[in-house]
Structure 1
Amino acid sequence: KLYRFPKPTIALIKTLAIGGGLELANSCDFRFASSGSKLGITAANIGIIYNLVSTKRLVNLIGPTKAKELLYTAKLITAEEGKEIGLVDYIYPLGEIEEKCFEFARQIIRKSSVANNGIKQVIQAIIDGDNEETEEIEKLILESFSSDDYKEGIEAFLEKRKPNFA
């Protein structure tokens, strides 16, 4: 449900994201981690197979070789290692991470919710390879041109000011 949530989502990892915690973080659009935090999927340590949907998401994020490495070894990696392989997007010291994460969120919130929500749906359709959604996505894109956000964006552009999206 988190992956399909219609608005942009951000995971904030302060210390650990192991197993289900990392699965939740991987369901988000962005992952912020504090320096020194640890990440991993330890299903192999207890003799279970990580689920299909989460494995697919992991492969999409970090590629099949790194996904296999994390899953086969069940090792914990640092946030820095996670950033190197694409599992973490941003790293900040523990004392700064919340403010940096909220600052990033405020940048998104200031933009058009019509655009942000649509962007999320378009990118998810591409990632998921869902060709059945193509017509629905195209309709969503066309509808954005008749939205109040579009009207405000155009007026702001013509008036050389920042848009004020409701």
Structure 2
Amino acid sequence: MSDDLIKLERRDSYALLKLNRPRKLNALNTRMWQEMLTIIAEAEADTSIRVLVVCGEGNAFAAGADIAEMQAVAEDPSLPNTIASLTYKVQRALTYFTRPTIAMIRGACVGGGCGISLCCDIRIADDTARFGITPAKLGLVYSLSDTKRLIDTVGVSPAKDILFTGRIMLAEEALSIGLINYLWDTDSLEQNMLKLVESIINNSQTSMVANKRIMQMILDGASDDNEITRDLFIDAFGSKDFTEGINAFKEKRKPSFSV
């Protein structure tokens, strides 16, 4: 077994970013956050990766923070700032990853694990998945950026319920409030993930990257077009993908977009 706590497994046109601490249900420690930051940067630099799928090795996505390390944090006043800075950098890098991201969730998706999943564009799960954000049970405070991603995903009232109760939520409820996009049974989760990835990578990369960038601008507070968004919109008309899309439509065939 690899000693790496975070693995990047490249496949055809996509890659799996795997949390690799299955004996601890992928409980997150500082080394994992450090490795994740490096791996996300590596994936960002590899333009052959058109979709990044984040998942956990074994039977859990991530069961929150490593409790042993949390005890050390409580005893050392210098550690909270260091860990907060590191987790912020990782989550920001994943949120602003330029191509589509998918969180594929089995088992526990709690605390920081749920926070990681909320940084992804799409969340899919099987019926073993369990979700919770539990700072209220530990005397901690959820960060503003984490809280905003939660509210952007499920809305204010469900976010308050999740944070105030700290309860563990079944996958069916997570689907009903929009915390996840798709729910499949255990045996078909990976097969359906592959179908979802294929449906994304078969589309125009030009459209995908630009639309993701514009949606993130809206989430960051933009409410009207600016020079960047106008250029993205206008430049697409001169792209090879637009030419291919129009030709494919006229010829009644599937488009073959540039990589």
Distance in 1 separating the partners of 2:110 and 2:225? 33
Alignment-derived partner of residue 247 in structure 2? 155
Q: What is the CA-CA distance between 1:143 and the residue it aligns to?
A: 1.0
Distance in 2 separating the partners of 1:42 and 1:113? 37
Tell me, yes or no, if the aligned pair for 1:19 and 1:43 is still in contact at 8 Å. yes
Q: What is the CA-CA distance between 1:72 and the residue it aligns to?
A: 1.0
**Which of 93, 101, 111 in structure 1 is aligned with 2:193?**
101
Mapping of residues 79-158 of structure 1, within 5 Å: 79-131=171-223, 134-158=226-250
Tell me, yes or no, if the aligned pair for 1:26 and 1:58 is still in contact at 8 Å. yes
Alignment-derived partner of residue 31 in structure 1? 123
**Which of 52, 56, 73 in structure 1 is aligned with 2:144?**
52
Instruction: Name stretches of at least 5 consecutive residues in structure 2 with no aligned partner.
Output: 1-92
Matched, 1:75 2:167: yes
Amino acid at match of 2:229: I
Structure 1 length as normaliser, TM-score? 0.95
Distance in 2 separating the partners of 1:134 and 1:68? 33
Matched, 1:13 2:102: no
Percent identical among aligned pairs is 37
Instruction: Name stretches of at least 5 consecutive residues in structure 1 with no aligned partner.
Output: none
Tell me, yes or no, if the aligned pair for 1:39 and 1:82 is still in contact at 8 Å. yes
Q: What is the CA-CA distance between 1:128 and the residue it aligns to?
A: 2.4
Tell me, yes or no, if the aligned pair for 1:35 and 1:93 is still in contact at 8 Å. yes
Alignment-derived partner of residue 33 in structure 2? none
Q: List structure 1 segments (4+ residues) > 3 angstroms apart after TM superposition.
A: none
Distance in 1 separating the partners of 2:128 and 2:170? 6
Deviation string 1:79-112 (CA, Å, 9 cap, x unpaired) is 1110111101111111110110111110010000
Amino acid at match of 1:25: S
Q: CA RMSD in A?
A: 1.4
**Which of 131, 136, 157 in structure 2 is aligned with 1:65?**
157
Q: Larger relative CO (CA 8 A, sep 6+): 1 or 2?
A: 1
Alignment-derived partner of residue 2 in structure 1? 94
Distance in 2 separating the partners of 1:42 and 1:133? 38
Q: What is the CA-CA distance between 1:132 and the residue it aligns to?
A: 8.1
The structure with the greater share of residues assigned to helix is 1
Amino acid at match of 1:143: D
Q: Secondary structure at the match of 1:2?
A: helix
Q: Secondary structure at the match of 1:88?
A: coil
